[in-house]
Amino acid sequence: MTFYDLLAFVHIFSAILGLGPGFMMIPVVSKAKTMEELRYAFAIRGRLHRCVMIGGTLLLVTGLIMGSLRPHLFTEGWYVLSLALFLIGLAFGPLVLSPKSKPIKKLLNEYQGKNIPVAYDQLSRKLFFYENIENFLFLLIIVLMISKPF
C-alpha cells in the first residue's frame, strides 16, 4: 500500500465518519414528542456533530494532501468543484447553521413545559431547511468524487 493509497483509505473512512452522522442529524430530533425527548435528541445530535467535525477536518486535510501529491488533480473540474462545494459547506456551519441553532439551544435551556412549543417548530424548520441544502451539497460532492464526470 502506497502513502497515497493510505490517504485515500483515510479519506474514504473520513467521509463515512463525517458525512454519515451528518445526514442523521435531522432524523434524530424529528421523532421527539416531548421536551425531555427533544433535549435528549439534541444531546445525541451534539455527539454526532463531533463526528462530523472530526471527519470533515480529516476529509479536507487528506483531500488537500492527495492533491499536493498529485497536482494534476487541481486541473480536474470534479476535484476543484468538489473542493469549492466542500468549502461552501464548511462555511455553512458558522455563517448559517450556528445562528439558526442558537435560538433553539436557548429554547431548550429555558423552556419549562413538557410539550414541545410551537416556536420550536418554526425555528427548527428554518434550521433544517439550511441543513438539507448542506446535505445536498455533500451528496453532490460524493457523486462528483465517484463519477469524476469532468
The three three-digit cell numbers of residue 96, written as one number: 448559517
For the stretch 41-53, pLDDT in tens is 999 999 999 999 9
Contact 52, 22 (CB under 8 A): yes
Q: List the domain boundaries for the chain.
A: 3-145
Contact 52, 124 (CB under 8 A): no
Average pLDDT rounded to a whole number, residues 94-121: 96
The Cα 105–Cα 39 span in angstroms is 9
Is this prediction's pTM over 0.75? yes
The Cα 27–Cα 21 span in angstroms is 10
For the stretch 63-105, pLDDT in tens is 999 999 999 999 999 999 999 999 999 999 999 999 999 999 9
pLDDT, residue 127, reads 97
Chain CA centroid to CA 99, Å: 16
